[in-house]
Amino acid sequence: MAAASSTAPSISGETLTAFLLRLADDHLVLGHRLSEWCGHAPMLEEDLAMPNMALDLIGQARSLYQYAGEVEGKGRDEDQIAYVRREREYVNCLMAERQNGDFAHTMLRQFYFAAFMQPLWQAMMTSTDERLAGIAAKAEKEVAYHIRHAGEWVVRLGDGTEESTRRMKAAVEALAPYVDELFESDDVTRAVAGAGIAPDPSTLRPAFDAIVGPVFAEAGLEWVETPYGQTGGRQGRHGEALGFLLAELQYMQRTYPGMTW
Amino acid sequence: MSARSDKVVTASFSPPAGRRSRQGDEGRACLSDAVQSPSSDPSGHLLPAGGEKEERAYRAAASVVDPEIPAVTIADLGILRGVEMEGDVAVARVTPTYTGCPAVLAIELAVETALREAGFEPRIERVISPAWTTDWITAEGREKLRAYGIAPPANASNSIRSLFGETEVACPRCGSLETARISEFGSTACKALYRCQTCHEPFDYFKCI
């Protein structure tokens, strides 16, 4: 580990902060989306499951925001980063902010995100950045349960009744344009990969496909190719969904700045 | 089904970009081999190496019960990672079970209070690495969980990674192995919901992590 850090090129605090915020925003925004199901799930067990997964995601987001605040060095804490940044300053992937839709849509989105994150956390467990390696070792175990839970629903609904199959197929269609953005590579991801902090997302596609492929086969679902994908989240260009989400998420701190209870 | 599930596991765990995982042994249920407790008494609790004062501070902190499962202490669960004296300050290290566990703050406050009441100036340190694992739950803690009606985590019999994998979980009331999982996520993040097919009682299962 020490040897790796001394040979890997170091990166600027600014680049590391940019990377951390992307990861943290993905988790906060998706965690918030999942929490919207609390009290509305199709059955009691799912009413427990979705907020529990949301808790994992928001806990991971907090660890990442705390670290980002320290690296950034401007005195911002996790709450200030989460609650008073504007929409264009959020750098989450577009998939995370998509509206929940029906239960099939929510579960497929969760499955995709978990299948993307598991290999990423797995690789980050040996990150040259020890703080991130610690966060990853914990998160990797948590996301394994998300894959299993969401994956089981993808199969159950995809290979279920006529109605559930129709809904799961509709979810596959609806989310297809948001998959490619997860694996985008740019200056930030390349710098982070070069420093041995995290793998470049573009290298994670085979691992993602290896998780999704067998579940789709079991569910009787077919992958849908889209002629073009939606992109822009990493540069702060979002769909209209995020603004509404942030309005709710940030309401208290916007109304009573600095409030605590 | 199981053969295919195994393939999912293997494929998803090939380390990307030529990296090697530190804990790549996906066949184990709980990934704790690299992070065993430094020392422990026969019950499995971590014991401080320092003097009488340190041991007294440890015992005070170790008496704190889990706010959501009051049948077990934080020492039973392996959440208390140690207590050391730094001059006159008793430093207690605690680790969350899950990253987003909402009980963390309550536990830290309770440890702080317990140390203060025992006459120490407390400081709490939250550690996340190495990551908590259910293998740190002591033998005594497992028995207390069972007596309380919560099935303790299975050991290396199954893997959380196996998609659709079924873990053999014994009913904490009647001991029957005829049980079925109702939900992967139970009343807290660390538990799943099961039902016994023999005595028909529902119960919580402390998930292996």
Reported ipTM? 0.72
Low-confidence ranges of chain A (pLDDT < 70): 1-8
Q: Which helix (H) or strand (E) holds A58?
A: helix A44-72
pTM beyond 0.90, yes or no: no
CB atoms within 10 A of CB B18: 8
Is B189–A122 a contact, with Cβ atoms under 8 angstroms apart? no
Q: What is the pLDDT of residues A146-186, one digit of tens each?
A: 999 999 999 999 999 999 999 999 999 999 999 999 999 99
Flag whether pLDDT at B145 surpasses 80. yes
| Domain map (residue ranges) of chain B | 52-135, 149-206
Tokens linked to B2: 């199981």
B163 inside 8 A of chain A by CB: yes
What CATH number matches the domain at B52-135, 3.40.50.2300, 3.40.50.10420, 3.40.50.720, 3.30.300.130?
A: 3.30.300.130
Distance from the Cα of B83 to chain A's closest Cα (Å) equals: 21
Name the closest residue on chain A to residue B100, using Cα atoms.
A59
Q: Distance of alpha carbon A35 from its chain centroid, rounded? A: 14
Domain borders along chain A are 11-255
pLDDT in tens, B146-156: 999 999 987 64
A177 to each of A29, A109, A120, A180, A219, how far by Cα in Å?
18, 12, 21, 7, 20
B3 touches chain A (CB under 8 A): no
Distance from the Cα of B68 to chain A's closest Cα (Å) equals 15
b/e B180-203 (16+ beta carbons within 10 angstroms → b)? eebbbbbebbbbbbbbbeeeeeeb
Residue A51 CA, distance from chain mean position: 15
Cβ of A204 and B131 within 8 Å? no
CB pair distance less than 8 Å for A123 and B21: yes
List the beta strands (DSSP E) in chain B. 80-86, 89-94, 121-126, 150-151, 179-183, 191-196, 202-206
Judge whether A52 and A35 are in contact, CB under 8 Å: no
Yes or no: say if B29 and B160 are a contact pair by the CB < 8 Å rule.
yes
Question: How far, in Å, CA of A234 to CA of A201, rounded?
Answer: 13
CA-nearest residue to B187 within chain A is A48
Q: Report chain A residues whose CB lies below 8 A from the CB of B131.
A: 134, 137-138, 141
Q: Which CATH number is A11-255 given?
A: 1.20.1260.10
Tell me what the pLDDT averaged over chain B comes to.
77
